[in-house]
Structure 1
Amino acid sequence: MSALVSLPPRIPAGEQATDPATDLARGLVGGDEASLAAVYRQWGPLVHVLAQRALGDSREAEDITQQVFLAAWRGRAGYRPELGSLAAWLTGITRHRIADALAARTRRAALVQGAGAQYVAMDHPALEGMDSAVDRALMAQELARLPVSQRTVLRLAFYEDLTHQQIAERTGWPLGTVKSHARRGIHSLRLRLEDVRDDR
């Protein structure tokens, strides 16, 4: 008894079969938005898992995932298939973004500590177990009360993770002025946060 066998389509002479990943990569590099969407659907979950495992925060992992594919789109002309697969390229971008996020987290923690936010939770059982969202909300509230110059410097440092030198370049202020505003701003924050602690 004969059985019907499904044969693959015949490839015309002179043509080579391409795999879907190669086609997607070609479309992405060529600026095809549909290819970008397809790349996101295929590798977005992988990027998210990598970020989630490294950062331990689902929301932050979502942000990283968006950043990775935005960076891939903007930097698509720099993708070189001969140097690695599209998946490997995206994974490399992901690792860089994760490293940036971890470094930013460290800088934020140092700033919060320098501003005295650790005093807020000290000796207050009602605040024990609360996450860094409390510190961020408190920082935002107290930053809003600072003079504009101090607030500007600390916001650029806290929210945009800029160094003193980068803040000086962004604002056009001398480096010494930036450091002075940062010092006075942190001192004011420390006093205000201590007042909050005493009021609780």
Structure 2
Amino acid sequence: MWGGLQVLAASVAAVTTVPDDRLGQGFADGDEPCLKEAYRRWGALVYTVASRKLGDAEEAKDVTQQVFVGAWNSRKTFDPQRGSLKTWLMGITNKKIADALTRRSRNQRDVEALTSVTGIAEQSAPASESVVDHLLLTREMESLTEQQRLVLRMAFYEDLSQSQIAERTGLPLGTVKTHTRRGLMRLKKRLEVDGEAHR
């Protein structure tokens, strides 16, 4: 999709200079040439801001794609009378960056929580091993029963207590505790088996 956006920008060979206010109104009205022009003007800015805050070029490309696709899909919510298109796009950019950082933090917390509970010491492993560990944990989570998976995801991804999980799911607190314990024990056994297999 990033390549598609580059082609989109490149296809604007000779764009008539349009004032920002008219560009914003055209964008809100669904005028596709205005999308192309908005990307031509501010695509590099969005990418640069995302790249600096995330420190990852590929992730910044994804965020840039999300910003323009998301802005175009929600263009009816943009009101040119309340602010410029550039300001609106940068607001979306900051939100997408925050979302990306939150996902990154949750993934890291997920790995740390599981490795802590299962007793697997997280040593200073190469980045490639960390990625493998994360993929392994994700795969093993899929092997759990639906309710075990639900309870553990709510605990790790949403940082909810067992009481909060019980309240949200409607399950008895004892059932939540049982699913948590059994799910973690099953993960521990699976991870220990996989660990032995890779020694």
Q: What is the TM-score with the length of structure 1 in the denominator?
A: 0.67
Q: How many Å apart are 1:91 and its aligned residue?
A: 1.0
Residues 106 and 187 from structure 1, CA distance in 2 versus in 1: closer, same or farther, beyond 3 angstroms?
Answer: farther
Tell me which residue corresponds to 1:119: 120
Work out whether 1:174 is the aligned partner of 2:170.
yes
Q: What is the TM-score with the length of structure 2 in the denominator?
A: 0.67
Q: How many Å apart are 1:95 and its aligned residue?
A: 0.8
Tell me which residue corresponds to 1:67: 66
Work out whether 1:143 is the aligned partner of 2:120.
no
Q: Secondary structure at 2:115's aligned position in 1?
A: coil
Residues 188 and 57 from structure 1, CA distance in 2 versus in 1: closer, same or farther, beyond 3 angstroms?
Answer: farther
For 1:39-79, what per-residue CA distance to the aligned partner results, in whole angstroms no more than 9, with x for missing partners?
22332221112111111222222221122123312332332
Q: How does 1:127-166 map to 2 (within 5 A)?
A: 127-130=125-128, 132-152=130-150, 154=152
1:121–1:197 Cα contact (<8 Å) kept = no
Q: Distance in 2 between matches of 1:94 and 1:182?
A: 37
46-55 or 83-92: which moved more? 83-92
Q: Distance in 2 between matches of 1:90 and 1:116?
A: 39
Q: How many Å apart are 1:120 and its aligned residue?
A: 6.6
Tell me which residue corresponds to 1:12: none
Q: How many Å apart are 1:90 and its aligned residue?
A: 0.9
Amino acid at match of 2:170: P
Structure 2 residue runs of 5 or longer lacking an equivalent are: 1-16
Q: Secondary structure at 1:63's aligned position in 2?
A: helix
Residues 77 and 114 from structure 1, CA distance in 2 versus in 1: closer, same or farther, beyond 3 angstroms?
Answer: same
Q: Secondary structure at 2:128's aligned position in 1?
A: coil
Q: How does 1:54-133 map to 2 (within 5 A)?
A: 54-116=53-115, 119=120, 122=123, 127-130=125-128, 132-133=130-131
- Percent identity among equivalent residues? 42
- Report the count of equivalent residues: 174
2:151–2:180 Cα contact (<8 Å) kept = yes
Amino acid at match of 2:107: R
1:164–1:178 Cα contact (<8 Å) kept = no
Q: How many Å apart are 1:30 and its aligned residue?
A: 0.4
Tell me which residue corresponds to 1:3: none
2:67–2:89 Cα contact (<8 Å) kept = yes
Q: Secondary structure at 2:60's aligned position in 1?
A: helix
Tell me which residue corresponds to 2:52: 53
Tell me which residue corresponds to 1:185: 183
CA RMSD of aligned residues (A): 3.4
Q: Distance in 2 between matches of 1:74 and 1:61?
A: 20
Amino acid at match of 2:133: D
2:28–2:80 Cα contact (<8 Å) kept = no
2:35–2:72 Cα contact (<8 Å) kept = yes
Tell me which residue corresponds to 1:195: 193
Q: Distance in 2 between matches of 1:116 and 1:192?
A: 12
